[in-house]
Structure formats: C-alpha cells, structure tokens
Amino acid sequence: MDYGIRGRTAIVCAASQGLGKGCALALAGEGVNLVINARGAEALNATAEQIRKATGVSVIPIAADITSPEGRAEVLAACPAPDILVNNAGGPPIGDFRDWDENTWQKAVNDNMVAPIMMIKAVVDGMIFRRFGRIVNITSRSVKAPLAHLGLSNGARAGLTGFVAGLARQVAKHNVTINNLLPGPFLTDRQIDGLNKLAAKAGQDYKTFLAARMAENPAGRFGTSEEFGKACAFLCSSDAGFIVGQNLLVDGGSVNVTM
C-alpha cells in the first residue's frame, strides 16, 4: 500500500527511543523526511543515523526540551512548515495523588497538554494554507480507562483530548486531520521503569510481575514500537483524510470496552 506521503516532511517529537522512534522509523519507511527531537543529543544523533541508513531519508536531529517554549522554537526553526506533526513527550510519574503538589500538576499539564497544543498552534495554519496536514498526538489508554497510579496522565491527557476533539472538526475541511494514538502496554524504557516500581510495590520480582501483566492482555503480550509506528504512519497517509478527531487504542485489546 502506498501511503502517498513520500517526500513530505514531519516533525516527530520525543523520538530518540520508544514510541516516538517507532513513529519516526515508520514515517521514514514511507519516504518522509524528518526533524526528530529529544533532550539527550547522543541517543538522538544515533537514532537519526540509524533512520538515515535504514531508509535514505533526510533526518535532522534537534536536541531540545519540547516542553519548553525555547525547545519548541528550536524544533520549529529547523522545520517551520511541516506536513506532519507527531506530538510526544515523556509521561508524568506514577504515584498517589496525595503526594502531588500544585507544581507537579502544573508540570504534567504543561508537558502533556499545553506543549502539544502549542506545537499544533505553531503549524496548523500553514497546513490549512497548503491544504495538507496530519497531526498525531501520542496520549495513553489512560484517557479511555483511567489507571489508578497514573492520575497525572489521566487528567492532563484528557485535557488535550478535549481540546483536540474541538479543533480537529474545525480544520478537517482543509485536509488537515488531528487524531490521537492511545498506547496500551509497550515494553519501552518508560514502561520497564514503571513496571519495576509496581513490582517492587507488590513485593514481586520483575520477571514474574511482567509475565503476569502480559498474560492479562488479550493479545498475550506487550506491543512493539514498530507496530505502534505503523499505526501512526497510516493516520498520516494521504488517504486518511476522513479520519478526524479519533482516539485510536493500540493496546492489544487491554481496554475492555465495546466501542
């Protein structure tokens, strides 16, 4: 299947590893030139080189914090007129809401709601003008099914989801789509870190705890960044212009809902 986006340009935020990297690789596989971002330059440069070698596209790495106005300005200076934007950043910490003060909440809302909205604001009018745009926000299954230990994620990401629901319907007539991808469990560094903490809390060793979590998933496993990236690339394809304001679970069926 030809996704019809060869030669287009994408910004993929927070993409030196994990789900962001999966999206970058899948888009590059469709011939999309990239600006990728993360804070740590070493891993980011290595990922850029890996994608160039694997796909032959142009990859510009920008080491910057995407949750800060300065970081976003650096990324946008490298690519002021992207055809595709994938919003992503590190997720908020797990814990008990009684331990979170106002600053902790402000950071979660900034990183997982305000930052992606600022990126959308910076690029969406250009996309409307050029009559093509694909924006994908990486959120979480916690938007559909709240996870008790992830209250900061449940709250902040729901705010982004509500905003996107409205804006997506305002820009769709210009062939600009905004959708959210909701990851379930993927065995990335963030997930491994969280599982280690939850295993310790439950008094279990990590391997036993992980095997039980995998067995709970209808697919009997966790997902891979590669398959997450493929879903992202499809939402960015030229033929996906009628998929508007959706929240697509990529979770092996772990959220137990009919719709």
- Closer of 61 and 133 to ligand NAP (Cβ): 61
Determine the interface stretch with ligand NAP among 3-11, 32-40, 100-108, 206-214 (rule: CB under 6 A): 32-40
Q: Quick check: 55 binds ligand NAP (CB under 6 A)? A: no
Q: Quick check: 88 binds ligand NAP (CB under 6 A)? A: yes
- Closer of 94 and 172 to ligand NAP (Cβ): 94
- Residue 62, classified by CB atoms within 10 Å of its CB into exposed (0-12), middle (13-18) or buried (19+), is buried
Q: Per-residue x/- mask for ligand NAP, residues 181 to 210, rule CB under 6 A?
A: --x-xx-xxxx-------------------
Q: Please enumerate in sequence order all residues whose Cβ is within 8 A of that of 194, keeping only pairs 6 or more positions apart, or say none.
A: 94
Residue from 37, 137, 180, 237 touching ligand NAP (CB under 6 A): that is 37
DSSP state, 114?
I
Q: How far is the CB of 127 from ligand NAP (least distance, A)?
A: 22
Q: Please enumerate in sequence order all residues whose Cβ is within 8 A of that of 84, keeping only pairs 6 or more positions apart, or say none.
A: 5, 8, 9, 10, 11, 27, 32, 133, 134, 135, 136, 236
CA distance 199 to 207: 9
Q: What is the C-alpha radius of gyration for the chain, rounded to an integer number of angstroms?
A: 18
DSSP state, 256?
-
The footprint of ligand NAP on residues 216-245 (CB under 6 A) is: none
Strand partners, 249: 182
Residue from 4, 40, 56, 162 touching ligand NAP (CB under 6 A): that is 40
Determine the interface stretch with ligand NAP among 3-11, 34-42, 172-180, 195-203 (rule: CB under 6 A): 34-42
Which residues of this protein are in contact with ligand NAP, per CB under 6 A?
14-20, 37-40, 43, 65-67, 88-91, 138, 140, 183, 185-186, 188-191
